[in-house]
Each structure stands twice: as structure tokens, then as C-alpha cells.
A and B are shown apart, each in its own frame.
Chain A
């Protein structure tokens, strides 16, 4: 595994110096350009010597709302004069800690809910060579409706399935339940599994996509923390149904805590004979392991994720063909989100009727984990019946806006879903209702903005995220996201012109039409939805050089980045 080798080198030297890379190239018989290609692609790897403290502050949605910019500026002002051998301060893409914003890492140690003063103390502690007090990773036991095994033996659905060996029955059950992909697309799981099951050949793979990296999304973190056994049970069932012999849980490297939880649970499964060459003493085999991502939002894109597992640059593949028939190592591959897998044992253990009855109304089934962050009193992950109105979640569970503020807008599913007005908060949270309201359920990552926020500022924040995370493979995304960031930055500095509106419309259409993968296709959504729902506010920036919310720097503030 090339990433493990690179990690070993980086662990030893603090970065990836040329000499050991040359040795690795010889040892693995892999050309240098390929090693360089991945070393420079993934944020986990560094090709220059590290400073004493490398501080990386999350810059995306929730952290941006909670003052990440100020935090970064303050840390830079305070500590950069010490020299870049001592301290580096970088912006970092969403760490998946949106409920504890702002979050930062110092030498890859995660700190949450950090204010400027705390950050300074942390850095000074680090500079003094003392151990920075790690935040406790306490994991209180929570009772969740989703867990079909409260206080009873787990993996019941799997054991039961072993008695009937009715693999086809699983697919028809999932079909009857109407389980859709919980990563955001809602594609029927039964169809995906059926394609893989029917695909010819003995070599098939299964991948659990636990790489959630979309700003605002952290529900998989919650599920992996509290229901790891459901994820793994769903994966084992998926493998047995489709015939996959090897599987990976592809988890982002920032989720160290969850990685440990999963490894522990996998070890338990192996000891119980639920994984391995002879599952429950049978002739059926499945090996499941954790694959730690070297980082990057693009790795959440299915085909890019497969490229990453193959040790390459995570650049999305052209589709067709799809991963169900041409997946990992070009073999048929089941690839589903954490939450999708976690739903499978729920349905099998309790039945389709139970699943359907969990929904809030006729057309919605099951339970859903939604992550709420931004301008609410109680950000967090909530387990809700599918189809619950958004307002119940935002005002009820999450406690509504901060005192004296009103909700102005919300993002239904992180950066890629764009910005909807508060008037749409009565929409029910299920695939159909959200789609009918002109938006999407996505992965259920609700970021709330109150009336102190500037919608353009937020759109720029999201578009910049995509620019930062574009893999660069295709022109429309690589260049388009950069140019879009430039134009929007210009708008926030009072440098917009009326013609820009048409330019952005054209660029958006091209990006949607010609980008290879979803990342590029969704780059325009933040600004398009902002224009659709808050056009006056945006035009005020462009045509009158005014930021109605008083957030954007407008004229006389620096250069366009």
C-alpha cells in the first residue's frame, strides 16, 4: 500500500524527502512521477520539512460563521513573525466538526470550539514544547431508535440471514422498504446491489464510503461513533448478498476517533467469526478493513475513492461504466454511504413495515440522521423520522436562532446544495418533498444562517471550498472554479460589473454540463441558488458596491485573491 509506505516515511522524517522516495520507487517498482503525483495530491502528505507547529484552521461554512477568518488572521499576526520554521498557519477544508466550530488542528491534533484566546494558549503551549491538553473524546452511551439491538445480542439480522441464506430476499426487502442512498443521491440500494450481484466474475468488492467531507456534514461521524456495529453488519450483509470477498471502510484521516472505534468493532467481529474466511463457521468469506484516506473532499466521489484505494491520485473516472460493474480494480463493486449500510440491518431485523412506519408521512420511510450547524442554539446530529418538517428540526431540536436573530437562509445539505430562504423551512425532510421544493435532501447537513449574514459571502465561501478541493483533472472544474472564485471575490470587494451576471450564468451552465464528476457540476449551486433566492442582495454588491449585511469588505480592501 503506497499510502502506508508514504506515511511511514513521513512519520520518520516529518515530511517526504526525496531520497527515501527514490528508494521506495525502486522497492515498489513504481515510477517516481507516480509517487510524486500522490505525494503532492493528498493533503496528508508534505513534501517540505514541517515547522515546529503546523496550525490548520477550518475555513468552511460552520467555522466561517463562527469566526474562523478572525482566528486565522489573529494567529498569523501573532505567530508568523516567529518564522516559518517555527509556525505555519494554513486554512484547511472542513474537518467535519461543524457542531463544535471553529475547529483547528495543530500538528494534526484536533481541537474544537476554539476561540482566539484558547488558540493562542494552545500554540504557546506547543511552542514551549509542552503537551497541548487534548480534548476529551468521551463517548456517552446514547440510546438511539435506529439500533435494533438495545441491550440484546448485536448482529442479529446477520445471524438470522445465515439461517435462511435468502440473499435474494435481502434485495427484495430493501426494494420493498424503498431504501435509497444516504450519501445524498438517494439512488435505490436494491438496484445497485442487484447489479453487483448479477455481474459476472469471482472478484467483487465492497466499499463503505465514510469519507464525509462536505462542509456542514458530520452525521456519519455520529453514526460511526454510536452505531459502528450497524455499519459493519450492513457491510457484511451487502458482501454476502453481492458476493464481494473484500471490503474497505474508506474513512477520512481526520476521523481518528471513529477510525479507532471501527477498528475495535472489526476486531470484535473477527473474534466472533462474523468476518474472515469462514463466517459463522460457513464456507462464506468476507474481509473488511479500514482504509484511511490521505485526505481531500474529492475522495468522497465514488470513482475517485476507488482510484484512491488503488493508490492513485483521487481523480474521478469517466462514467459510464459505473462502479457497480467496473469498480475497484475494474471489478464489480458495492459502494454505499455509512448511513445506507446502517439502515440495512434495521430493515432486516425489524421488517419493512416497521421501517415504513418510522416515516413522518406516507411517502417517507425510516429514520434519518440530520446534522445541524451554523446559527442555531444547539448544533448537533439529530435522529428524526424521515419527512419531519425542517422547521421542527431547526427550531425544535436545534433550538432555533441565537437570541435576537431571525433565520435568513439555510443550506439543506452543505456547500453543494446552495442557499434557500427561511420561507422554505416548512418543507418536509425527505427526498421527494425537498426535490419538489426545488432543493434537495442530500445527506441531511443543514447549515443555518441568521439575518446578520451576507449570502454572497457565504456563496463565495462555498465556491472557494470547491476550488480548493477540485482535483484538477478536467478544465471546467479546475479553471472554472478558480475563475468563479475570482469573480465572486471581486463582487465582495465592490469590483463587480453588470456583465458578470451573464458571465457567471454561462460559466455555471458549462460547469454543470461538462465537468467529469459531481464536484465540478455542483460548484455553481451556491451562487446560482443565492442569485435565485437573494438576487437583490447580490445585485446590491455588483451594481451599487454595497453589502447590505455589512459583511463584505467592498471597496478599498485589499486585492482580489
Chain B
């Protein structure tokens, strides 16, 4: 190779042709300050801090300037120093000094150079337009204010790791680093390999040091060992060291319980070796509503009421969704997971209670991890493919078939839909689709909860919360191709996205489905217009402020008629195994008492977070707690009106310690008014001897009420009686056959 002779700061130097001035100097022990260049990356020459005098008209960035024969380089002349100082001063004038990196480890490269150059308070005014922070990633914190656009992270992401997520966005003074289409980092296709953060010279990309806790009961895993695992292979070592406390290795003996349903947790498990059994240990127990007058007898037998006694349900699922890559069969809620399986994702990401009990069926080795590490491996392309494949194989088919419309599809078609499905990750607050936008896809919920709302003048109306296995988007694809509602992620959500084109192909191939969908869409539209007519017709301040408008059904007691005999409470207890779900207390409205009893809210907050999806809305309006409730109590916590109670039930369960044996345990279960779904009328209403208790649909009731009030004002003789409302057919469960799971 040709040799090049040049002098640097007076010293003769010989280097191979193609060597940059920067490297030529470095090889000969002369270090040139620089920010945008590091040895493992292709030089970019953008910070200009390494500018040197090569005897030309202008200074040259030494990191990109090839050495030339006879070149005389000055790396530290007055001219060079002045230029360098000015560049550093310019950068410092917009730098949030001390930046996160300087605060944590005192080694922000910009601030270090500034100090070395003796730059005090910059003479320029700070940038006015903020560039902002991005906290969306679980593991890396982005502070755009501290970014100097050295492009080191960009080269790390695209050229070293080939992840191709990071680039420059914007232009000029408004330029900045951007993930994918300038998304928040956490929503981008970033795999959290950490390379950008390791490359960053300032506090613009730093490790989120939220995780200081050392997970108990396990062995910390060495970085080298983690890097052997395919899912950590492409992750920066420094980055893994920074997160060392957040992942441990645990060994379980066969038979050992790994986690229990209903427990709160914050970790996920990844099976390295062995097999586990995942099951619901709480039996399918449900409070019977066969009662009535013979409540006492019923109470005696209630403990034994199991799944077999459940009435043939209208829409009971074939399987129960849990926080793993499998579903449990309703009849036999047990499944097996093995090497390479992941469970506890939802608990880990969104702190929901565990949905099932997991027991080692052989000796097992697991990685237990906190959400930042889970996020890293979930973003790993290899693992994602595996998770997606598992999901497709084990649960997608089931989930697709819960969509009534799909039940008639041929297995091949379901398979082809499944193969085209794409998994999408979202975080809290992300809007998945917006009312009025063009509908382009159909979605199934794999993990997490979404909220479905309709925009109306005066506020949004929550149509439903959907958890795992829920679906949405089919209506929008049909209803002239526009979204009829807005869907928002409530926590960490993963969705299965089926492209609109594939969906439409289905409709062409199965015209019966198209007809059915169109009918549903039309019906929904009619309902909505009826509903809105009712809502807009009334305005009663106190009624609204008490949140009553938010309910679908209220238990009202007319205090003028009520003698406080408590027959309603007793009837409720009789109907529900001696446990009343009604308390004759609560908010008052005029001469009515709004009894503390499930209001069947329009915005049923209780449904959010149920780890097994046992609290849900049926096709009619009532909110029911299905018999596979694991008793975690989250819904009771969530209900803003205190209308859900946890009641202990004594049940016989398999004795885990003693194979084949049984033992009696006390299990809590959530209870709430179920509107005595199996009777013509709620027991409380039926039992009231004074015609004081009524279940009413608030909109219609208050419409009548308001009319009555107006009539009364105009003519005091008008009878102020609820019978008026009764005659209009608004009493009790007004039929409202909207399927809340089906929307948009």
C-alpha cells in the first residue's frame, strides 16, 4: 500500500494511503478533541470539533479528511482552538447543562470538552422553541434538548446493529433524531438493543435507572450468559450491565408453584428449561341466582354450586384467556408451557394480577424479569417471531372464532387470515383508530385493554373496554369504510392486525357474512341515533354531576313510598346465596335514593384489568362476573361507586400437596348486581311491597321525570308518580340488545 508522508504539529508522520488526518494524528499520539466520531463507527464529520488546519483556505474536519503527501497539519494553533471553542460554545448554549449523563456519571462528552476548553456561560441565548423529551421507551430515556446531532446513535442503530430505526428528521435548526416515522421511541420498531444509548456522547439517550431493585430468590445472570441467549444476542453489553438487576435466573423443582392466580406481581417469566403446568386453581364457582323465596335452602347448597350448575349461557366462551401464549379450555382449564415460552407479560407490563397459577411439572430453569428487560426481549426480532408463531398456533384461531361472524368461516380461510395477521404493540394513550378516519384494518386484542368511545357533542361516550380476545374494526370496514368510533390503548397493548384488504376478501368469498355485518351496522346506527336523541333531550345538572348519566341502569327507591322494610335487601340476599348485593344507601336525587348497587355503567371501569376477562358485558347490557373469577379483587378496586364486593366462598379444591386429595379452602369471588338476569324482574324490585323500588334506564326515566316536572310546574295537579314512567315502558331492564364487544 502507498505510504503518505505529512507533518502534524511539526512532527513528520507516515501513514498508509486513505488514513484520515484524525487517525494519522492518533496513531502518533496526538489526540484531537471530537464529539461525533468514535472508533467503531464510520466518520460523519458533522460536529466539526476536530477541525484542523491543513494549510488550505478553510479548516478541515480531521475525521473525514484523508491525509495527503506533504500536508502540514496544525491541530492546536490559535486559529484551530478559536474555531473549536466557538463550536463547543454554540453547542453548550443549547445544552441543558448538567444533562442527565453529567448528573449521573459526570462524563457527558460535550460538557467535558467545554470544561477542558474553559468555556463558561455561553454568550448566546438559549434555544426558545423546545425540542422536548421522550419517555415512551421502557428502557431508554430520550432528551432531545441534550442532543447535539452527532449522528453516533444513528450510525449505531443503522450501521452497527442494522436495526434501521433511527435517522435524522426535520431540517436545519429544527433537525433532530427520529425513530421510524418520527414516532415516540417506545412506539417505534426499536428493539431496545441499547446501541444508540451506548453511542450517545451526552445525556440525550440514557438508561432509565428506574430499576434499582434486585429481584429476590434468584441468581443474577452474567452479561456473557445473557448474550449467549438468542434473544439478547444483539443487545449492547453495556446496556445489559446497566439492567443487570432486572433479570435473574430461577430454578424450580418439579411440583413447585411459580406464581399464583390473583397475586399482584411485576415480573414475567421466560422458560429456559423444563415444562410447567398453567391452570386455574379456583374452581368454576358461581353464585346461583335460582333462588327467590327458597333462599335459605339455596344458601345451604351454594358452596357446592360449580360450573356444572351454570345455566346454559348465551355466549359463554369456549376458552378462558390468560396471561400466556395459550388459552385455557373452559371445561378443563389446564395447559402446558415449555422451553421458550413466556408468561406473565400483562402482569409485568401493566401490573395486573396474575391470571393463573403456574406449577413446575418438571425441574425448570426460568428467567424472571422486570418490564424493562421484558421489553428488550419482546422487541427482539427472533423472539417476536417465536411469540407470534406461538400465538398464531395456540390462541389466534380461538380468538378469531370468538368473533361470531367468523365462526362460519372455513378453517382454511381462518388459517390464511391468521397467516397474514400482524402483531402491533402500543402503549397507554395511543389511539389505534379515530372516528371518521378511513378504516383499514380489523383488530384482535392479544394483550392489554383498549377503550372504545364514540365522539358526541358534549363529550365522548365509552362503548366498551376490550381485553384479551376482544375484537374491533369490522364495522368500520363496512360502514362506508370510515371508523365509527375511536379506539384507544389503556395500557401496554398488543393487537393482531388483519389488513382491510384481507378482510374484504373474506366478505367477497363469504357473502353471508357481509350481509350479516351490514345488518349489524345498520342496527347500531339506529340505536345510536335513538340513544343520542335521548341524551340530548335532557339537561339536569345534579343528575349529571352525580355521574348518573353515565349509567345504563339505576336502582331507584322512591323515598315517598319506601317504608324502610328492607324486603329488597333480603330478597337480594335470598337470590344470591345469602349475600346481598344491594345496600339501601347512597346518593339522593330529589325524592329518590340511588341505591348502592351496580349501575351497569356506560363506562364500566371495573372491566379494565380483569386478568382472566371474567367480568364483562353480555349482549344485553348487564355486567356479569363469570364463574372463572380468580378473586383478585381488581374490579372491586376499580369500581368508583363501591358496588362490587369480594365475598369469601368455601370451596373444595384439588390438594396440590397431596396428589388426588381434596381440601376445603376459602376463595374470594367478586360479586355485583347481575340484575337477576335469569328472572323476569330483579328480585329487589319484585319483592318491594310498596312499589318503591325500580330499575330504570336513566335517560328515559329522566326524560319522563323532566316532563313530569315541567307539567307539574305548569299544572300542579299532575300526578307525580313513577307509574308515568312505567307506562312508557322504561322500568326495569329495558331491552337494549347492543353487543358492546362489537364495534367500529
Contact = CB atoms under 8 A, between A and B. Distances in A.
Interface of A: 18-19, 21-22, 31-37, 39-41, 47, 296, 313, 318, 320, 467-476, 478-483, 486-487, 490, 499, 503, 506-507, 509-510, 512-516, 521, 560-561
A513 B79 contact: yes
A46 to B, nearest CB: 13
Interface stretch (B171-179, B398-406, B589-597): B171-179
B90 A483 contact: yes
B48 A474 contact: yes
Nearest to A560: B125
A372 to B, nearest CB: 30
Given A467-B173, A470-B173, A479-B90, A37 B167 contact: yes
B230 interface: no
Interface string B75-104: 000010011001100110110000000000
Among the interface residues A34, A479, A506, A561, which one has the most CB atoms of the partner chain B within 10 A?
A: A479
A106 B91 CA distance: 38
A18 B437 CA distance: 13
A476 B87 CA distance: 6
Given A476-B90, A486-B125, A296 B171 contact: yes
Contact of B87 (A31, A470, A510, A512): A510
Interface string B144-158: 000011000000001
18 contacts: A18-B181, A19-B440, A33-B164, A33-B169, A37-B169, A472-B149, A475-B49, A475-B90, A482-B172, A483-B90, A483-B124, A486-B125, A509-B86, A510-B86, A513-B83, A514-B48, A514-B83, A560-B125
Among the interface residues B47, B127, B172, which one has the most CB atoms of the partner chain A within 10 A?
A: B172
Given A36-B180, A516-B48, 16 more contacts: A22-B181, A33-B179, A34-B167, A40-B170, A47-B182, A318-B65, A320-B66, A471-B171, A472-B149, A472-B174, A474-B47, A478-B149, A478-B173, A483-B124, A503-B123, A503-B124
Nearest to B166: A33
A280 to B, nearest CB: 42
Contacts of B46: 473-475, 516
B45 interface: yes
Given A475-B148, A480-B90, A40 B165 contact: no
Contacts of B171: 40-41, 296, 313, 470-472
A39 B168 CA distance: 11
A35 B164 CA distance: 11
B58 interface: yes
A487 B87 contact: no
A448 B90 CA distance: 34
**Pairs A-B, 9 closest by C-beta atoms:** A33-B167, A472-B175, A31-B164, A510-B86, A32-B180, A470-B172, A479-B90, A482-B173, A483-B124
Contacts of A473: 46
Among the interface residues A41, A474, A487, A514, which one has the most CB atoms of the partner chain B within 10 A?
A: A514
Chain B at the A interface: mostly helix, strand, loop or mixed? loop
B169 A36 contact: yes
Range of interface residues on chain B?
Answer: 35 or more
Contacts of B182: 36, 40, 47
Chain A at the B interface: mostly helix, strand, loop or mixed? helix
Contacts of A481: 172-173
Contact of B158 (A31, A47, A467): A31
Contacts of B47: 474-475
A506 B81 CA distance: 12
Interface string B46-68: 11110100000011010011100
A467 B164 contact: no
Contacts of A479: 90-91, 93-94, 173
B51 A514 contact: yes
Among the interface residues B47, B82, B87, B148, which one has the most CB atoms of the partner chain A within 10 A?
A: B87
Contacts of A318: 45, 61, 64-65
B378 interface: no
Given A41-B170, A313-B168, A486-B124, A478 B175 contact: yes
A490 to B, nearest CB: 8
A469 to B, nearest CB: 7
A561 B125 CA distance: 11
Contacts of A513: 51, 58-59, 79, 83
Nearest to B80: A513
Given A33-B178, A506-B82, A509-B82, A471 B158 contact: no
Given A318-B45, A506-B82, A32 B172 contact: no
A89 B122 CA distance: 34
A186 to B, nearest CB: 15
Among the interface residues A18, A318, A468, which one has the most CB atoms of the partner chain B within 10 A?
A: A318
Interface in B174-193: 174-175, 178-182, 189
A37 B172 contact: no
B123 A476 contact: no
Contacts of A480: 86, 90
A45 to B, nearest CB: 11
Contacts of B93: 479, 483
Contacts of B180: 32-33, 36
Given A475-B46, A475-B47, A475-B91, A514 B167 contact: no
A35 B170 CA distance: 12
Nearest to B123: A503
B173 A506 contact: no
A296 B175 CA distance: 14
Given A476-B90, A479-B91, A469 B170 contact: no
A301 to B, nearest CB: 14
A318 B45 CA distance: 8
Given A320-B66, A509-B83, A32 B61 contact: no
Contacts of A483: 90, 93, 124-125
A19 B434 CA distance: 14
Contacts of A487: 124
Nearest to B182: A36
Nearest to A16: B181
B33 to A, nearest CB: 13
B173 A37 contact: no
Interface in B185-218: 189
Contacts of B181: 18, 21-22, 32, 35-36, 39
B178 A468 contact: no
Among the interface residues A37, A476, A512, which one has the most CB atoms of the partner chain B within 10 A?
A: A37
A468 B125 contact: no
A345 B82 CA distance: 48
Contacts of A516: 45-46, 48, 61
B88 to A, nearest CB: 9
Interface string B231-263: 000000000000000000000000000000000
A311 to B, nearest CB: 13
A252 B372 CA distance: 48
A512 B91 contact: no
Contacts of A469: 172
B612 to A, nearest CB: 34
A507 B172 CA distance: 17
Nearest to B440: A19
A487 B93 CA distance: 13
A472 B147 CA distance: 13
A27 to B, nearest CB: 14
Nearest to B53: A513
B639 to A, nearest CB: 37
A400 B506 CA distance: 75
Contacts of B168: 37, 313, 472
Nearest to A321: B66
B82 A510 contact: yes
A523 to B, nearest CB: 12
A499 B124 CA distance: 11
A499 B121 CA distance: 14
A507 B166 CA distance: 31
Given A472-B149, A481-B173, A37 B58 contact: no
A480 to B, nearest CB: 6
